[in-house]
Structure 1
Amino acid sequence: MLVQLGSMGVLVAVLAFCVVWVSSDTNKYRKLVWVTLFLTFDLIMFGAFTRLTDSGLGCPDWPGCYGHSNPLLAHAHISAAQEAMPFGPVSVKKAWIEMIHRYFAMGVGVLIIALMAISWMRWLKSRKQPMQRQVKFTPWFPTLLFFCVCLQGAFGAWTVTQKLQPVIVTTHLLLGLTLLAMMAWLAARQSDHAPVAASAAGLVKPAMVALLLLVIQIALGGWVSTNYAALACTDFPLCHGALVPQMDFANGFTLWRHLGMTADGDFLTFQALTAIHWTHRSFAFVVIAFIVWLAWKALRTAGLQNTGRWLLIVIGLQLFTGLSTIYFNWPLAIAVVHNGGAAALLVLLVMLNYKARLVPGRHAVSAAASHSAIVESLNQHP
């Protein structure tokens, strides 16, 4: 079974390698990084789809499906479970959604292993080119990515074996987004960027604050999703007709408990779900206001205008999809797009942090290195 599952992951990776191979980009490593970033983003979107369709237990074991590598071989077990619980978590459709998500995750894992192997090989081959070795092919970051994807896989297994315990599912989501942010950083490091104005240095701290605020908001959103609290408030801007409704923060934000239960084993109250939803909704306005201000500052900074423009577009999309989930009673497509918007904001803020913090310095180092090389050449050939 493990060999068959691994083969599915390799197949996904081979398709990505084919895209890189036929690409006109001469820097195949850089292209592979960007393709892996794109697939990691897609994986997060599909993970949201898996969670929102309640397919997380479509196959209640791990890594296979009732001990098999695909739902076709496990059809008898799935049919028996569905017959015993017609409205339960197991069905043929949910099993396929869950297993496709796992195949996809394995493929991304194979690509990250390839990135790590290539970076180590190039690092060892570039001993005679110290500057190239330092900037482009440092293997430590791809190696850290490998350990991160292994940890993510472990939490994926615990998500199933612990029966969708909210803290584990939320941690699984946050680790997936951490992986996405790391891939975005690696992609930024491999790419060439337009010169950035010196005034970008003033955005270093605000960009970090914006990233921190977004991570908190994503964690709150994950907590809403994993506790199925999206419809705890169905009106806006009020919640149950009040600006501050009756809420139970103590049970709502108790981390270590089973799904739908309090830490004491009682059923989670509606007031607890309201507290979860209301906190995410209220904090969203803080995040939106700060990111809009940061995007406006980026629009006025040479080299950051494009990133600032996209930040405004995506934050507007997030506001629209967030409100739409309330007004239109949580439609699946909009809810998935809302998750994707959060991931896109994360990538954009990582890129902004990279450009504001590292790109000006890297250009300065490169210029100094080029000047030193010219001087040394002149000294050797007067």
Structure 2
Amino acid sequence: MNRADKNYLHFTQFVLFSVFLVIVAGSVVRMTQSGMGCPDWPRCFGRWIPPVNASQLPPDYEKYLKKQDIDHTFNVFHTWTEYINRLTGALLGLWLVIHVGWSFKKYFRTRPSLFWISSLLLVMVAFEAWLGKLVVDANLAVVKITAHMLAALVIAAVTIVIIQRVNKKTPVQDKELKWLANIALLCLLVQVILGTEVREQIDEISKSLNYIQRDSWISRLNVFFTLHKSFAWVAALACVVVFWKSLSYPTVSKTGAWIFVTVLASMGLGLAMTYFHMPALAQPLHLLCATILFMLVFALRLRLK
């Protein structure tokens, strides 16, 4: 790989890091109940730069505060937490504009697929921003929040496709490992869907309790939580089998090792949330680990034939 390709690859990896940063920022927003800290979009209290104290609120500020579901008062922490989340999304869009331009200049004539996939990423991020507007307009309707998260996962997966195509590493010929990776991906997808159902319930339960009494949230969940908790062992086993099988191939064994480590971290955080009354910090970390795990298995699957 020449220097120009390496620079392009490193920037694409930076874009992927930025996608994960957006996911984490969104999780922190939910963890701190800051989702309506900026109750309008794309501005915040009618301003491009949010207020830092109540004296900077516009004269008609009450029309914004009444959209909130916590205390209907101005909270600078909630406002700036949500605003920083939006900034990470805006920066991701900027990086992708640069990425599209770079892809066009470098690969449009020789490898046009890279340009078109990069352009697709930009369109998807624009769609994600539109979903963000719907989330605000709907006052954090849980279904739209889930769609917002799933769209981010697709963006990360497409970015990995670009990275794999630029790397051009020799694929591993192992049909058994290929099918094991397919099964693991399917199990993880089912687990993600079950997890989103649980998350929507947690959103509704926590809101009904004014975001307190965390020790009672788990007991109020329905059968989806039982399914999510039980199927986690199936998904984990599938991933561990992929890890074990990948050790036979040095070119993918490192990815397999990271899959194993991430499985342990994700399961540990899930158990912590179940038995220690949903500690706030465990929520975004669990989501981050689950996202990374899915992407690691997906990346390994792309290396198999």
TM-score w.r.t. length of structure 1: 0.68
User: Counterparts in 2 of 1:94-173, with a 5 A limit?
Assistant: 94-124=78-108, 126=109, 132-133=110-111, 138-173=114-149
CA distance, structure 1, for counterparts of residue 89 and residue 22 of structure 2: 7
CA distance, structure 2, for counterparts of residue 117 and residue 89 of structure 1: 44
Evaluate the alpha carbon distance shift between residue 85 and residue 356 of structure 1 in structure 2; reply closer, same or farther with a 3 A threshold. Answer: closer
Cα shift at 1:197 = 4.2
Partner SS for 1:27: helix
1:230 touches 1:330 (CA, 8 Å); kept in 2?
A: no
- Is there any run of 5+ residues in structure 2 with no aligned partner, and where? 209-216
1:292 touches 1:312 (CA, 8 Å); kept in 2?
A: yes
The answer to whether structure 1 residue 28 and structure 2 residue 4 are counterparts is no
TM-align CA RMSD:
2.9
Which amino acid counterpart does residue 168 of structure 1 have in structure 2? K
Question: 1:156-190 deviations in whole A, cap 9, x for unaligned?
Answer: 11111111111111010100111111112212222
CA distance, structure 2, for counterparts of residue 86 and residue 167 of structure 1: 20
Partner of 2:262 in structure 1? 314
Cα shift at 1:285 = 1.7
Cα shift at 1:353 = 1.3
Partner SS for 2:17: helix
Evaluate the alpha carbon distance shift between residue 58 and residue 142 of structure 1 in structure 2; reply closer, same or farther with a 3 A threshold. Answer: same
The answer to whether structure 1 residue 279 and structure 2 residue 258 are counterparts is no
User: Counterparts in 2 of 1:1-382, with a 5 A limit?
Assistant: 27-72=6-51, 75=54, 76-77=56-57, 81=65, 87-88=71-72, 91-124=75-108, 126=109, 132-133=110-111, 138-191=114-167, 193=169, 195-199=170-174, 201-228=175-202, 273-357=221-305
CA distance, structure 1, for counterparts of residue 282 and residue 302 of structure 2: 30
Evaluate the alpha carbon distance shift between residue 69 and residue 289 of structure 1 in structure 2; reply closer, same or farther with a 3 A threshold. Answer: same
2:266 touches 2:289 (CA, 8 Å); kept in 1?
A: yes
Cα shift at 1:103 = 0.7
Cα shift at 1:213 = 2.2
Question: 1:317-361 deviations in whole A, cap 9, x for unaligned?
Answer: 11111001122222222222111101111220121011114xxxx
Higher relative contact order (CA 8 A, sep 6+): 2
Cα shift at 1:74 = 7.7
Identical-pair percentage: 26
TM-score w.r.t. length of structure 2: 0.84
Which amino acid counterpart does residue 163 of structure 1 have in structure 2? N
Q: How many pairs are equivalent?
A: 289
- Is there any run of 5+ residues in structure 1 with no aligned partner, and where? 1-23, 127-131, 233-258, 261-268, 358-382
Evaluate the alpha carbon distance shift between residue 161 and residue 34 of structure 1 in structure 2; reply closer, same or farther with a 3 A threshold. Answer: same
Cα shift at 1:203 = 2.3
Which amino acid counterpart does residue 273 of structure 2 have in structure 1? T
2:12 touches 2:162 (CA, 8 Å); kept in 1?
A: yes
CA distance, structure 1, for counterparts of residue 114 and residue 274 of structure 2: 46
1:298 touches 1:305 (CA, 8 Å); kept in 2?
A: yes
1:217 touches 1:284 (CA, 8 Å); kept in 2?
A: yes
CA distance, structure 1, for counterparts of residue 9 and residue 252 of structure 2: 21
CA distance, structure 2, for counterparts of residue 323 and residue 85 of structure 1: 29
Rg comparison, structure with higher value:
1
Which amino acid counterpart does residue 187 of structure 1 have in structure 2? I
Evaluate the alpha carbon distance shift between residue 191 and residue 72 of structure 1 in structure 2; reply closer, same or farther with a 3 A threshold. Answer: same
CA distance, structure 1, for counterparts of residue 226 and residue 33 of structure 2: 22
CA distance, structure 2, for counterparts of residue 26 and residue 330 of structure 1: 44
